[in-house]
Each structure stands twice: as structure tokens, then as C-alpha cells.
Structure 1
Amino acid sequence: MARAIILMADSLGVGAAPDAEQFGDLGANTLAHLLAAYKEDKGEALPLPNLTKLGLVDACEAAGKEACEVAERSAPKAAWGYAKELSSGKDTPSGHWEMAGVPVLFDWGYFPNTQPCFPEEFVTELCKRAEIPGILGNCYGSGTVILEQLGEEHVKTGMPICYTSVDSVFQIAAHEQSFGLDKLYQVCEIARALLDDMNIGRVIARPFIGTSSADFMRTGNRRDYSVLPPAPTLLDKLAQDGGEVISIGKISDIYAHQGITQKHKAPGLMNLLEKTSEIIDSAPDHSLIFTNLVDFDEKFGHRRNAVGYAEALKQFDDYLPTILNKMQKEDLLIITADHGCDPTAPGTDHTREYVPVLAYTPGIDNIALGERQSFADIGQTLAQWFNLSTLDYGDSFADDLIKA
């Protein structure tokens, strides 16, 4: 029986989607622009031999109609293409759920870009139930900047830092020692319950450590509190069929722990890749290993660090042979993304982009999958790969892989 591995390269967009202008993202291209920034900074092109061989550069050039310069170029030995998003947003849950066969065809609730931006009644009730003296922030903000601005006041007052963005999200930052990790999680759970009626997609716990604004830094104890997907996903179907759905990183949080049979946390890019490699050794037949590589988005995309993003992508590329060499004959590897986060774009938010669709199984040759009309094509392909019932959305390209 078959196994599958999904490596979600969080935010690795490959060119502005057809509706990017509606989102203020015309001209966005995460991959092409980080490659250009790296060359300008280092004086040489970034080597990505393994991702190039899986078709990443070809997919980006086809999607973004923009040259991508890497240090060495070879013809793909994989199936490669690019997908546009049906869902109404450019947020993490929408991208992940659609990829698993459930696009978000409704509008999320959002907070206005004002200060204060949260409803007074909500803040009052949150403080009352959580027994906190108040909140700081109450605004749109960048997660790192807001720690510099308000971290010391938070430690002094005991008031958590609450902020949002253009995504449907309510984020709470608090110091692990002075405020307490368990207390932070408790406040997030209360906020999650209060925000359900506003249709806010996620509440995120953003714990940090440090002694002052000069050294405050986030920890790996982030936790996402998501609403449930509106319908059963590929993950549910596989779990109900007796398969294993193994979450690595924040995948379980994004799907509100639904359809997950095993959960593994790992801080940082290399730890996530190493945990994935470790699980490949022991995962049984009829299992899906699903890893979110969050650093690309969190540490580099949102922080508009194009060169750092490129260097992290090189780390990913360097590690890929370890995973590829462990794959069995009927294993399928898919590398994709959930949205873009162009580090050269204005602001600090996600960008509405095509995402790469790279599929590799041992013995495959060069297969151009072209433009996919939905991220759900990935879920439909995996449903066929696992001999599950057909999903409501998506067109499978599994036959192309099987013929190869």
C-alpha cells in the first residue's frame, strides 16, 4: 500500500495569482524576488539543485512569467505545476484546508485597521473571564516589532499583547516566565470561544522569552486555535479508512486536531525536516506524513528578510536528498505552499499567489502538470493515491504519476 509525504513550504508563492490585484498584491512573486535579492546581496545566484530538479524553478517561471536565476539548472525529474486558490482569502487555514479538498468559499471575519481595533465588549469579557487587568496593543502589528514596542510594559503590568493583521486572526503574545505559558494558553482558549460568533479563523498564542526589548524572542511553544474545517477533509477520510495521518509542526493546530492520528512538534526548520525524516523510517503503509515548514513564513516572509528566506530555502534544498533517499517504491512526495509572503512587497502580510505543485515518486520522469485550478487538486490526487472516495473539489493528477 502507498504512503505520502507533504512538505508545506509555508508561504513559498511562485507568482501573482490572477486575482492578486483585488488583494493589493499585483506583481508579487515570493520565489523569484528572494532569488533576485540573494544575487544582488551575494553577487552570485543561489544554488537550489534539488528543488530545481523537482521542477520548482520551471513552475515559478511558468506561473509568474518572470525569470528565476539559480546557480545551476537541470531538467525536472518530477511532476511539476502551479495552482491558484479558490478560497476567498490568503490565510493559512484557507490554503491548508483547500489543499485537503475543502476550499473556504465564505468570508472570514476580520478586524478593522483602526486603534483600538477589537470590539470593546469582547475585550471587557476576555479580561473578565481570563482575570487579567487589561490588554496591550489592540491594533494591527508585526509580531517582532510589537515585542520591541510593548514587551517590557507587558512584563511590568501583566497585560498580554493582543494584535491582528489583514488575516482573520487574533494573536496574543506573552512572556513565558512572567506571564506563564499555561496562562497564555488559557487566555487563548477563552478568546477562541468568544470569537466564534465573529467567524475569526484563528487565535494564536505567541510566547516569548528575554529580559528586555533588546533580546525578546519568540519560542517554539506557539499554539494555533483554529475553527474546524467546514467539511471533512482528506485527513478525515484517510483516518476513517484506518490510515495514519501524522502531523509535524503546526499542521494539527491548523486542522483543529481533526483527522490527525499522530502529532509531533519540532522547533525550527532543520528540526522539522529531521523529524520528518525520522517518521519516514517508521510510518506504516497507508499513512500521510504532513509537515509545515513555518520558518519561511514566520521568520523571513513576514519580516521581509529576502536574503534570510533564500538561505533557509538553501538549507531545505540541501536536506532534500535525505528524504528522497528514504522513499519507497509506492511513496509519493508533494512539495507545495499555502499562500505567498513576498519578502520584497510592502507591508508584512501574506501575498495572493500561485503555489508550486511538485510531485515525486521513485522512477518518475519530467511531467508538466500546468496550471491547476485549485489547491484541492492535491487532495484529490492523494485521495486517489490512497484509494479513498472522491473529494467534492479538485481534479486528480494521480493517473499521470501512475503512468510514469
Structure 2
Amino acid sequence: MSRTVIVVVDGFGVGAMADAGALRPGDLAADTCGHVLDRCREAFGRPLRLPVLGALGLGLVHPHPDLARRTQLPVAVGRAALGYPGADTFAGHQTMMGADFSRVTVARLAEHLDRVTQALKDAGHRVELLDGKPLLVVDGAVLVHDNLEADPGINWNASGRLDDLGFDGILAIARTVRTVAPVARVIAVGGHAGQPLDAFVREGDGGTVGLDTPASGFYRNGGLQVQHLGAELDHTRQLPDLAARAGIPVTLVGKAADILACEAALRRPAVDTAEVLAHTLEAVRADGQALIVANVQESDLAGHQQDVERYGRILEQVDAGLAALLSLLTEPGDRLIVTGDHGNDPTIGHAFHTREYVPVLIHRPEAPGPELLADATSLADVGATAAAALGLDPAALANGTEIRGAATRAA
């Protein structure tokens, strides 16, 4: 009974896509993997210790002096374009699981203020603009605003200090906004900040205005609570639901537990990387066939904080966790798939995601040796490839095609 484990290293890109500079021309130089390797060598006085990622073929996808250029492991390696607009975790994961994300709209809150305000008032809330800006203050405690961490118009946030209002109250406001929002996701965010949140409001790219969440201290002060409310999608045509209907146990770990839909799934939410890896290992050790999707979020947080050294330490921690997973996934048909959902280059000069290709590293115990894969046109192809490994029909997904080998065999 085969097990398929997808480990998504959030924000781990391997070089800019051709259209990466459409919003910010400087993003054409984005290379999360390469820049983190370079800067960490300078900071630590040694290369990052990534023997497992090297053995899985990362150096074949992204040649670099600090990565192995050859591997003898039975891996299939390539890279994937994102296959959705912008660079966003929710859109990336939904696409990877096989969703058709083509009809979600990119929109600034300013374009929908009247409609959002009316929906909130109809729900009994008090709503006002913040100092005339296109940003709403709800019940004097929660800001409804453009998300400044993704590309403009991809997501909206409902953010509040937990000292002012409990997370259930913040989430209720976000749910009301979701009923009228055309964007990919509305994110309810509760945390702790030393000042009122209006002190951290700033303008973003493309005419957006919102809370600078990293500057607020939410990510570093502890107690962060987040829930992602996604656009309406046909989740029955995504990989987790498809697997569950076939009787395959599904476990969603880390941020994947927050943003992926599957009523039958066992959910193990976590942010701490050690906890994410521990939950993933626990799920792999269970008997029988399995689909496990795990998201390592702290790499993405390090990117937003523009903290290269933290990013490097997270990669080393992930590498050690992958070694433990490989030691368990040894049966014919088992799959370990390591990939990303977008880039988040901490050296690029801003705190946004970067639109980059992501690695697709697939360990296949029964294969005779390494193989190079053709570039995938979408992250949906990763989900389709995982479906095929589980004996499921990739055509049952709303989007995606199984990734095939390129003409050249890896050395």
C-alpha cells in the first residue's frame, strides 16, 4: 500500500518566471534558493548543510556550488511554473491540489468599499473609514484591508489585536467580508501588537493600503491565530477529496490544514517547523496507504521578514526532516514530493512574495535511477502526478496533467 507525501516548502523558489517583473521589474532577479545559499555562506562562514535536498536533485534543477550536481537516488527532478496569477500561498496550494483557479478576480478593496461596508452593516457591525483611506475599521477594533504580503489584489485581510477582540469576533467579521469578496482569499488574523494597529498602516504596491503585518509584531510576539477563507472552488475535484473518496487516509499538516478542504482529512495545524515535521513523520508511520500534504510555513515567514539567516536555518531543519522521511518511504510505490508554492526571496528588497519557478523533487524507491522531468506548466501538474502515484485518475481533478520525463536522463 503506497504512501505519497507532499512537502511544500512555503516560499521556496528557484528563479524568476519570465513575467516576474510585470509588477515589480526588479523581481526578474528573484532567486530565493540561490540568494539564500549565497548569503548564508557569507553569514555562517560555511555552506548550508542540505545533503538530502542535494541528493533529491535540487542541484540539478538549480545548479549551485553549494549543492550536489549528481545524485544516485531514484529521483525524478524538474521545476514547475505556478499556473495561477501572482504569487500566493492559498492560490498555490489550491492549484497544486488540482483546482481550476482561472476565475478568481484580482481586486483592491478600494474598488469594493461600498459593497463590503454594506455587508458588514447588514450584519450589525459599526463601520468607518480610517482617516479617509480605503481601509475599514470595524467595531473600532478590526481592520479590513488589502493584504500587503501577496501581490496587490490577491487577498484581503481582517486583522485585529487579540487584546481588543477575541479571534472568534475577528473571524466573524472576515466571514462576512468573504460573502462579497471576489478575491482568492480573505484572511482572518489575530495577534499581539504593542501599539494600536493604525500605527502600522501603510500604502502598498498598486494603490493598495493595509496593515504591515510583519511590522506590527504579530509574527514575532506569539499567540498568532490565522484562518484562511478561500474563494468558492469545486473541492470534490481536488486531490485530497479524490483520495478520501477512494478510501485513502488523508492528513493535512501545518498551513495545509488551514487552507485545504477535505472533510475526511485528519488535520494537524502547526507553524513551528519541528512540529510540522513531527506530525508528518507520525502520519507516515501509520499503517496502510496514505496521502499526506505538509506545509513548512516558517520559510515563508523568514522571507517576509527579509531574514536570510533564518531562512537558511529553516532549510537546514527541513533537510534533516526529509532524511527521516526518506528512511520510512522505502516501499515500491511510495513517493516523497518536495516542492514550493511560489518564491519569497529575502534579498530582493521588499517583503512580498516573488513569482518564481519552484522545484519538483520526487523520490521513487522502485525507479532504476535519476530522471530529469520536463518543466511543468502549472503546480496542478504536481497534484496530477501525485494522483497517478496513488493509483487515482488525474483526469478526475479539475486541472493538471501528470509530469513526464524529459528526453535527457540525469547523471
- Tell me if the contact between 2:374 and 2:404 (Cα under 8 Å) persists in the aligned partners: no
Partner in structure 2 of residue 208 of structure 1 = 191
- Shifted more, 308-317 versus 83-92: the winner is 83-92
C-alpha distance 168-286 of structure 1, shift in aligned 2 (>3 A)? same
Q: After TM superposition, give the deviation of residue 13 of structure 1 in Å.
A: 0.4
Other structure's SS at 2:384 match: helix
| 1:126 is aligned to 2:120 | yes
Partner in structure 2 of residue 176 of structure 1 = 162
The one-letter code sitting in structure 2 at the alignment partner of 1:131 is H
Partner in structure 2 of residue 193 of structure 1 = 179
In 2, Cα distance between the equivalents of 1:346 and 1:125? 37
Q: After TM superposition, give the deviation of residue 10 of structure 1 in Å.
A: 0.8
Other structure's SS at 1:101 match: coil
Q: After TM superposition, give the deviation of residue 360 of structure 1 in Å.
A: 0.8
- Tell me if the contact between 1:118 and 1:138 (Cα under 8 Å) persists in the aligned partners: no
- Tell me if the contact between 2:167 and 2:190 (Cα under 8 Å) persists in the aligned partners: yes
In 1, Cα distance between the equivalents of 2:111 and 2:131? 9
| 1:235 is aligned to 2:218 | no
Partner in structure 1 of residue 16 of structure 2 = 16
In 1, Cα distance between the equivalents of 2:343 and 2:351? 11
In 2, Cα distance between the equivalents of 1:17 and 1:347? 18
- Tell me if the contact between 2:30 and 2:354 (Cα under 8 Å) persists in the aligned partners: yes
Partner in structure 2 of residue 41 of structure 1 = 43
Q: After TM superposition, give the deviation of residue 291 of structure 1 in Å.
A: 0.7
Partner in structure 1 of residue 337 of structure 2 = 334
The one-character-per-residue Cα deviations of 1:300-353 (angstroms, maximum 9, x if unpaired) are 111211221111111111222222112240321100011111111132211111
C-alpha distance 313-129 of structure 1, shift in aligned 2 (>3 A)? same
C-alpha distance 215-3 of structure 1, shift in aligned 2 (>3 A)? closer
| 1:368 is aligned to 2:372 | yes
Q: How does 1:132-147 map to 2 (within 5 A)?
A: 132=126, 134=128
Q: After TM superposition, give the deviation of residue 103 of structure 1 in Å.
A: 4.2
Partner in structure 1 of residue 349 of structure 2 = 346
- Tell me if the contact between 2:162 and 2:192 (Cα under 8 Å) persists in the aligned partners: yes
Other structure's SS at 1:178 match: coil
The one-letter code sitting in structure 2 at the alignment partner of 1:202 is R
C-alpha distance 138-107 of structure 1, shift in aligned 2 (>3 A)? farther
Other structure's SS at 1:222 match: strand
C-alpha distance 45-200 of structure 1, shift in aligned 2 (>3 A)? same
RMSD: 3.1
The one-letter code sitting in structure 2 at the alignment partner of 1:237 is L
In 2, Cα distance between the equivalents of 1:174 and 1:76? 51
Partner in structure 1 of residue 281 of structure 2 = 277
Q: Aligned residues: percent identity?
A: 27
The one-character-per-residue Cα deviations of 1:45-82 (angstroms, maximum 9, x if unpaired) are 21211111111122123xxxxxx232766525222111
In 2, Cα distance between the equivalents of 1:253 and 1:265? 7
Unaligned 5+ segments in structure 2 are 197-215
The one-letter code sitting in structure 2 at the alignment partner of 1:205 is A
Other structure's SS at 1:82 match: strand
Q: After TM superposition, give the deviation of residue 159 of structure 1 in Å.
A: 4.0
In 1, Cα distance between the equivalents of 2:29 and 2:176? 40
Q: After TM superposition, give the deviation of residue 21 of structure 1 in Å.
A: 2.9
The one-letter code sitting in structure 1 at the alignment partner of 2:9 is A
Q: After TM superposition, give the deviation of residue 107 of structure 1 in Å.
A: 4.9
The equivalent position to 2:268 in structure 1, one of 254, 264, 268, is 264
| 1:379 is aligned to 2:383 | yes
The equivalent position to 1:82 in structure 2, one of 61, 79, 96, is 79
The one-character-per-residue Cα deviations of 1:253-306 (angstroms, maximum 9, x if unpaired) are 323x24652212123111111111111112x43321011111111x21112112
Other structure's SS at 1:288 match: strand
C-alpha distance 100-133 of structure 1, shift in aligned 2 (>3 A)? closer
Partner in structure 1 of residue 362 of structure 2 = 359
C-alpha distance 46-328 of structure 1, shift in aligned 2 (>3 A)? closer
| 1:296 is aligned to 2:290 | no
In 1, Cα distance between the equivalents of 2:321 and 2:134? 36
- Tell me if the contact between 2:13 and 2:342 (Cα under 8 Å) persists in the aligned partners: yes
Partner in structure 2 of residue 219 of structure 1 = 223
- Tell me if the contact between 1:136 and 1:161 (Cα under 8 Å) persists in the aligned partners: no
Q: After TM superposition, give the deviation of residue 29 of structure 1 in Å.
A: 0.8
In 1, Cα distance between the equivalents of 2:133 and 2:340? 28
In 1, Cα distance between the equivalents of 2:362 and 2:134? 37
- Tell me if the contact between 2:58 and 2:67 (Cα under 8 Å) persists in the aligned partners: no
The one-letter code sitting in structure 1 at the alignment partner of 2:71 is A
Partner in structure 1 of residue 31 of structure 2 = 29
- Shifted more, 34-43 versus 309-318: the winner is 34-43
- Shifted more, 209-218 versus 86-95: the winner is 209-218
The one-letter code sitting in structure 2 at the alignment partner of 1:75 is T
The one-letter code sitting in structure 1 at the alignment partner of 2:337 is I
- Tell me if the contact between 2:256 and 2:269 (Cα under 8 Å) persists in the aligned partners: no
C-alpha distance 382-215 of structure 1, shift in aligned 2 (>3 A)? closer
- Tell me if the contact between 1:189 and 1:225 (Cα under 8 Å) persists in the aligned partners: yes
Decide which structure has greater helix share: 1
In 2, Cα distance between the equivalents of 1:98 and 1:208? 28
- Tell me if the contact between 1:127 and 1:134 (Cα under 8 Å) persists in the aligned partners: no
Other structure's SS at 1:271 match: helix
In 1, Cα distance between the equivalents of 2:336 and 2:67? 24
The one-letter code sitting in structure 2 at the alignment partner of 1:16 is A
The one-letter code sitting in structure 2 at the alignment partner of 1:2 is S
